[in-house]
Structure 1
Amino acid sequence: MSDRTMARQVLLFIWFLSLSSALGQVSYSIHEEMAKGSLVGNIAQDLGLDLKRLKSGKARIYTGDSVEYIELNKERGVILIKDRIDREALCGQTTPCALHFQIILENPMQLYRVTVEVTDINDNAPMFSKAEMRFEINELSSSGARFILDRAIDHDVGRNGLQSYSLEPTDNFVLKFQNLPDGNKAVEMVLQTPLDREKKDHISLLLTAFDEGEPQMSGTMKIHITVLDANDNAPVCLQSVYKTNIAENSPKGTVLTTVSASDADQGANGRISFSISSTADKAADIFEIDPESGVVKLIVGVDYETSKYYQIDVQARDEGGHTDSCKIIVDVIDTNDNSPTINIISKSSQISEDSKTGNVLAILNIQDLDSNESGKVNYGFYSLVTEGDLDRERESEYNISVTCADEGVPSLSSSVTLSLQISDVNDNAPVFDKSSYEASVQENNTPGLSIFTVRASDADFNQNARVSYILEDSSVKGVPVSSLVSVSADSGVIHAVRSFDYEQIKDFQFRIKVQDGGSPPLSSNVSVKIMIQDQNDNAPQVLYPVQSGASVVAEIVPRSADVGYLVTKVVAVDVDSGQNAWLSYKLQKATDRALFEVGLQNGEIRTVRQVTDKDAVKQRLTVVVEDNGQPSRSATVNVNVAVADSFPEVLSEFTDFPHDKDYNDNLTFYLVLALAVVSFLFIVSIIAILSVKCYRWRRERMFYKSGANLPVIPYYPPLYADVGGTGTLQHVYNYEVCRTTDSRKSDLKYGKPCSESIISLDSSGTQTLTHAQRGKLINKEFDDQVRIFISSLCSSLQHFFYCKSIQTVHTCKGETEL
């Protein structure tokens, strides 16, 4: 027995429950030689079983190693003759003769014992082993001389067996019988009337054997007697009965005993020879006797389980024909030559792992053909049951060895191995090989790209261990996660549904559920994080200076600028990240490369030497902005620089830049439209001013008529004034200027003072004015306001056209430069 088998036996305790007391027992009696299909009995009715129980329990007959003479009809619930039954072949001379078998039912397992007694019919006539016997009898044989005759054999029993003999004619001989230890009778022919060879030297007799069956049957044997002359002494055996024993399985040639006899005659008439007579147990085929010495030996092996003893009939005969007989009783001694047998009546080859404790796995029958201590075992029926819980994941199969040993010396044993498969139930949920997953994928990937694989395992078996992967519903920035990734239900491979853009989504999370194929299914889930890796898929973008084919941007550098003067700064961004967004600035082309340089990291354009009068006014720089990606991407920007101290100088130099015809056409349209709008606003303003003036004139007339002096509320005109004349501004000016955003110089246009007069207030903040003074003041203020409005409108139109003439995209602003 292997260590593995022993280890498995520890997990499953084997408990044998004796089933010697079966659930029921019934007996029947039938005649031998009944036809096939003959009814033996209604087993369902006699055992109180329902026909449905016979079918559902898979009822069957168990006979062990014996021939099945009986069959079970589950449809009718009866047992029938399956094969011809010969009582003589089945039981020989043993009475009573019976068939023993069991009826086994399953689910649950049940056992019923059935005994069918087979009764004898007179189907065998008495028979002699020889058709005739011959005797040579001396004429001097005295009355009473005995001659042993071969016994007839009748295989039937009881009244159907051998019952009597008759001998004809009976002129000289009669029959006598002797009872034998085995219950049979020895037949002897006894001389009653002396023989006379001279009268009759040959006698023929007929020996008939009869039974008492219905009908009576008989068998005959002829006896031929030759009358010899002058031998008047018969041999005499020293013992009438010899007893000896022999162990079964003794080797051939083993001596059992020696038979001795004597004869009073001398010479040839006193010479004795021994022989063994034929017997029913065929002793003559098993033993032999030396004709001269009388030594009895074994010629074939004997088996205690076949016959426990033998009787040998020995005849002592002299040459004159006189005989005597004796018997040898041989007892066979049993030896432990048979191992116990284990018969599996019923067994289960598979059991579910969730079966309860005490579940019957098999029913066994134990037997030993030996006797006494050699065959001492606990006979009967046993059941193999489970004692503990089963777990297929821990042990999926058990090989259970059942061993039975007798108490002989040496002890013999036998064993059987039962294979038990543990069937699976869905008691384990699938488990991912990681508690969470993280993976990365580069942006701009191909849709359908395999990102990575999640894996889960299930400790169950077959369908219960078949896992499928499911993407749980969720959203990423309002977008269903199913529109971003998908998962293969069978392999767990996660695919990208679309191309990712790092600039839109840098990472996202979702959950994947794994589910087995059991019923009901078990599942678990895991968190997955996908990180998008940036690629250098975006070129730098220049924010300043703004590039347009319809305008020219000019940065003004005064000729007095020193070394390191900041001309402007190129501002650019890259929407990528990491080193893909690291920008560097290089000066690609320049009108005068010795005059300007660009900061590698900050993009600042500075002068590298002192500006001189010899430097051209119009300078054009081309700056390359390049990122640090692989491969790198770049953008270029053109910067126009004007080296001048005055704006007219700049304007005269930049008027020859080529312009886009479509752009000029569009600009003309917009200028005409603007002029129309301004004209409309001007007319509306004039109307409004005239209306206000008329309204004030009427109110002034009303105040004048009233003749009352009203307090004057301090009034501050829209033009600021310095009260007391001690401020820094001596006059109020209207001014206009137009310049680019980064111009270093501006042109100012000064107007004349709007008013030289300032209203002075007393310490109380109020002053009483006359009607004439107040009217004059109001009229003057009104005229100033109209003049200022008209002047501003004209200045705006002038600036509009002036800005158009220098082709700038920057707005026109007012700036005070004193």
Structure 2
Amino acid sequence: MLTWPKGLLQLVLLHTAWKMGSGQLHYSVLEESQRGTFVGRIAQDLGLEVSDLVPRMFRMLSKGEKDYFEVNVQNGILFVNSRIDREELCAKNADCVVHLEVIVEKPLRFFHVEVEIKDINDNAPIFSEREQILSIAELITSGTQFLLEGASDADIGTNALLAYKLSPNNHFSLDSGTDEDESKSIVLVLNIALDREESPVHHLVLTATDGGEPKLTGTVQLVIHVLDVNDNPPVFNQAVYKIKLLENTASGTLVTDLNATDLDEGINGEISYFFSNKLPLNFKNTFSINSNTGEIRVIGKLDYEDIKFYELQIVAEDKGSSALSGHCKLLIEVLDMNDNIPEVSVNSLSVPLPEDDTPGTVVAIISASDKDSGTNGQVSCFLWPTEQPFRLVSTFKNYYSLIVGAPLDREEVAEYKIVVTVQDQGIPPLSSSISLLVPISDVNDNAPAFTQPSYTVFVKENNPPGAHIFTVSASDPDVAENALITYWIDEKLWPLSSYISVHSENGKLYALQPLDYEELKLLEFQVRAKDAGLRSLCGNVTVQVFVMDENDNAPAVSRRNEENLILLMVPVMPGHIVGKIHALDADSGYNAWLSYELVEESSGPWAVGQYSGEVSTKYSLDGSEGSKIQSVLVLVKDHGKPQLSATATLSVSLVTNTHAIKTDIHLPRSGESFMPLVDLVNIYLIIAICSVSSLFLLAILIYVALRCHCKAKETMVYGPGTATLVCASEVGSWSYSNRQSHILAGVSAEAGAKSDLMIFSPNVPVSVNNGEFMNGTEMPPDSAKEHNFIGYFIFIDKFIL
């Protein structure tokens, strides 16, 4: 091995770096450079910070079998790692390049680096044998040429450019002119005819010198035997034959038919053909020659990718006693065919891919190659199916980046199967494919959603504590913790924790205490659902819980009916109203609809209004009636199921003159006009009837006003306050309650009733099953059209008769 001076090595070492395509660098280094020889500052030339090489997982891959180069990640310098023999690596190829691939991550980038291996003159010319033996007949005329086997030099370029020199002699000289194929043939020229008797053997030295610096030489001994008689050698009709053959030509195909002639006669003119002994063995295994006819045929496999050019030395020799020979050169060019399928491989793949990755994100780096040349080796790469959020971008030559081309959504497609196909441009085109599986990882981009914007729930009062009244359910299309939902009640506006609770995992709503319709009619609140993602998302739904009345309150009769004695002066006409029973029921609806009837035992001359509670006479009464004080027993019943009742006793005293009236009855003073008790009662009745009529008229006016107001305002604000259900009917009136009831609306910021009298036409339907309200039943809003109401619900704070 030659040792190069340090200064000369620095002058010879070429360091050139430039960027091509998506990041190609080109360096050059001399072969046989010592380990550690500087090649280039690869980190600087690639635009990378030296401090980022380790964090970004800088790595370099070599396509060859050996790692000739290595990068110092501490300073970013590319240096020689092992001995490089250009002749071993690239043989006689003029371009000797080592391909390197550099990959860094965060973000993922790919670079292609080429290092050209420069030749040095480290191989001397070598002859195949130590001596060459020639037989030359005497009397051969001067100018006759004899082909010599030349030397070979493993180097290339000027280092392999050989010059030949013959040792001084009187008979021979060298002719190393250039053939048509620009390759030198060494020809020994006879200048002066030989005389066997003078000198039967000639010993010469042939020296080959290359063109390198310093020059290297090789020698061979030439032994020339002078023969007698046969003085005409065979001659080919042309010195060089050129043939083109397609690769993969079938075995047995005729290449050419050589033709040589000999001017001698008889056996001295018979010619045999054969390959030169210096022909490489693989050439002899690929072609055959017929020794008698000179036909050359293919006997092996021609492969353009292995050998593109064959040079065959052919010898034609006569059969004279002193055989003479002629020579020619057969040059065979192998033509490329599209016989190699393109290859595609994945250099880097980053999966799974988060669904929120932006378009332009690199998913994989793909390389494609084809061993053919020309258009047969030009490849194109494409994806299948084409309708997908990915695309290929060409980075350098046959390197591609698979990038995100459109937004991703894991809830629509959880993973993609991508087929990458590479196809050459040969005729017919050849192709190959690989499949990539790209799973999409979930991010928390979907909030929990309820099936309905709101729920309406009906619950009968007097429910057991902790009763399950309804279940809300939300769904989240995300996965894992991003879809894990918890529920809670929003109590920012109203403290509902003493009434309602929700199970945090399954959304079940529970009534924590018995609900009392007379105390609470409506609970309106929001249930919120939150997922467990790192950036949690929420959804909410409004729940309206209507408390349904049950007949749990018996009618209550005012005790003033029994505390006072009613004085009735006789005679009295039939139908005369004696008094009225005052009764209340804390329930509502049918449960508070009261009817009155007399107990049979005490009916007598009395009658009571079924729905008004007014006690009147059935026929005329006079002083002949029996007892002066009579008791009227009235039974008050509601219409609930089960039916509840109460009794009231009315005491009536029949008087025939005003002197029998007790002293607590007002008598006119002197000078005042006397008003009979009957007229006083009638006046009270008239005043009561006018009051009720006025209230009824006022209720109608307010109802009309609220109906007009509701059309302009979609939602009604509810708040806590007193409320009692009142319904007008053809046969009577609901009784009125002065008990306190509330409506708690968790979605309203206003509280308190707006007025003492409010007519309410409910927009929430009531579901009736066999005359009873359904417990804990959600009713759809549209079902309100399917139910008929007896009247309008009137909510008032307090009613005073």
- Report TM bin, short chain: 0.5 to 0.7
Are 1:433 and 2:432 matched, yes or no?
A: no
- How far 1:605 moved relative to its partner? 12
* Superposed displacement of residue 497, structure 1: 3.0
Aligned equivalent of 2:275? 276
> Quick one: which of 486, 490, 499 aligns to 1:484?
499
Q: Is the Cα–Cα contact under 8 Å of residues 456 and 514 in structure 1 kept in the other structure?
A: yes
Separation (CA, whole Å) in 2 of partners of 1:113 and 1:626: 96
**1:364–1:182 distance in 2 versus 1, CA, 3 Å:** farther
Which residue of the partner structure matches residue 472 of structure 2? 454
State the match for 1:469 in structure 2: 487
Q: Is the 8 A contact 1:439 1:530 kept in 2?
A: yes
Post-superposition offset of 1:575: 4.5
* Residues in 1 aligned to 2:673 and 2:555: alpha-carbon distance in whole angstroms: 50
Q: Secondary structure at the match of 1:250?
A: coil
Partner of 2:257: 258
Q: CA deviation at 1:327?
A: 1.0
Q: Give the stretch that moved more between structures: 217-226 or 302-311.
A: 217-226
Q: Which residue of 2 aligns with 1:762?
A: none
Alignment of 1:586-665 (within 5 A): 628-629=640-641, 632=642
| Equivalent position amino acid for 2:327 in 1 | S
Query: What is the distance in 1 between the residues matched to 2:466 and 2:164?
Result: 108
Deviates more, 1:442-451 or 1:183-192: 183-192
- Are 1:510 and 2:536 an aligned pair? no
Q: 1 or 2, which has the higher helix percentage?
A: 1
Residue in structure 2 matched with residue 79 of structure 1 by the alignment: 78
SS in 1 for 2:302: coil
| 1:512 and 1:528 in contact (8 A); partners too | yes
| Partner secondary structure for residue 483 of structure 1 | coil
Q: 2:327 aligns with which of 307, 311, 325?
A: 325
State how 1:369-388 maps to structure 2 within 5 Å. Answer: 370-375=372-377, 380=397
Contact residue 542 and residue 570 of structure 1 kept, 8 A: no
| 1:540 equivalent in alignment to 2:554 | yes
The answer for the alignment partner of 1:27 in structure 2 is 27
* Residue in structure 1 matched with residue 311 of structure 2 by the alignment: 311
Gap regions ≥5 residues in structure 2: 1-18, 381-395, 620-624, 656-665, 676-801
Structure-2 separation of matches of 1:209 and 1:313: 20
Q: Which residue of 2 aligns with 1:244?
A: 243
| Match in the other structure for 2:718 | none
Q: Aligned equivalents of 2:133 and 2:32: distance in 1?
A: 38
1:526 aligns with 2:541: yes
Superposed displacement of residue 98, structure 1: 3.3
Aligned residue for 1:90, secondary structure, equals: helix
Report the secondary structure of 1:494's partner residue: strand
Contact 1:138–1:230 (CA under 8 A) maintained in structure 2: no
TM-score (norm 2): 0.57
Percent of matched pairs sharing the same residue: 36
* Alpha-carbon distance in structure 1 between the residues aligned to 2:292 and 2:618: 153
Distance 2:294 2:353 in 1: 67
Q: TM-score, normalised by structure 1?
A: 0.56
Q: 1:158 to 1:608 in 2, by over 3 A?
A: same
Distance 1:429 1:127, change over 3 A: same
Whether the 8 Å CA contact 1:363–1:381 is kept in 2: the answer is no
Single out whichever of 386-395 and 268-277 deviates more from structure 2: 386-395
Secondary structure, counterpart of 1:450 in structure 2: strand
Task: Tell me, in whole angstroms, the C-alpha distance in 2 between the residues paired with 1:564 and 1:421.
Answer: 92
Q: Return the offset for 1:259.
A: 1.2
Residues 719 and 583 of structure 1, relative CA distance in 2, 3 Å threshold: closer
In structure 1, what is the equivalent of residue 388 of structure 2? Answer: none
Deviation for aligned residue 1:443? 3.3
Tell me: CA distance 1:465–1:133, structure 2 relative to 1, closer, same or farther (3 Å).
farther
The separation in 1 between residues aligned to 2:419 and 2:433, in whole angstroms, is 7
Q: Mark the structure with the bigger radius of gyration.
A: 1
Give the CA deviation at 1:34: 4.5
Secondary structure of the 1:506 match is: strand
Deviation at 1:569, TM superposition (A): 10
Does the 8 Å CA contact 1:151/1:279 hold for their aligned counterparts? no
- CA shift, 1:510, in A, is 0.5
Name the CA distance, whole Å, in 2 between partners of 1:409 and 1:93.
31
Q: Is the 8 A contact 1:172 1:195 kept in 2?
A: no
Contact 1:20 1:381 in 2 (8 A): no
- 2:712 is matched with which residue? none
After superposition, the Cα gap between the structure-2 partners of 1:78 and 1:451, relative to the gap in structure 1 and judged at 3 Å, is farther
* C-alpha spacing 1:151/1:294, structure 2 compared with 1 (3 Å): same
1:770-805 deviation line (CA, Å, top 9, x unaligned) = xxxxxxxxxxxxxxxxxxxxxxxxxxxxxxxxxxxx
Contact 1:245–1:332, Cα closer than 8 Å, also in 2: yes
Q: Residues of 1 paired with 2:605 and 2:123: CA distance?
A: 146
Contact 2:582 2:613 in 1 (8 A): yes
1:15-414 superposed matches below 5 A? 20-21=20-21, 25=25, 27-32=27-32, 34-35=34-35, 39-44=38-43, 49-55=48-54, 57-61=56-60, 69-82=68-81, 84-95=83-94, 97-101=96-100, 103=102, 105=104, 114-120=113-119, 153-157=152-156, 185-186=184-185, 233-265=232-264, 270-277=269-276, 278-279=278-279, 282-320=282-320, 321-337=323-339, 370-375=372-377, 380=397, 390=407, 392=409, 408-411=426-429
In structure 2, distance between residues paired with 1:280 and 1:87: 21
Shift of 1:496: 2.8
Query: Could you say if the C-alpha distance between residues 389 and 41 of structure 1 is closer, same or farther in structure 2, counting changes exceeding 3 Å?
Result: closer
Bigger shift: residues 94-103 or 223-232? 223-232
Deviation at 1:70, TM superposition (A): 2.5
Residue 92 of structure 1 deviates from its aligned partner by: 1.1
- Find the aligned partners of 1:494 and 1:225 in 2 and give their Cα distance: 118
Deviations 1:228-266 (A, max 9, x none): 997555433232211111122333333221112234455
Verify the 8 A CA contact 2:63 2:99 in the aligned structure 1. no
Instruction: Output the amino acid matched with 1:258.
Output: D
- Report if aligned partners of 2:591, 2:638 keep a CA contact under 8 Å in 1: no
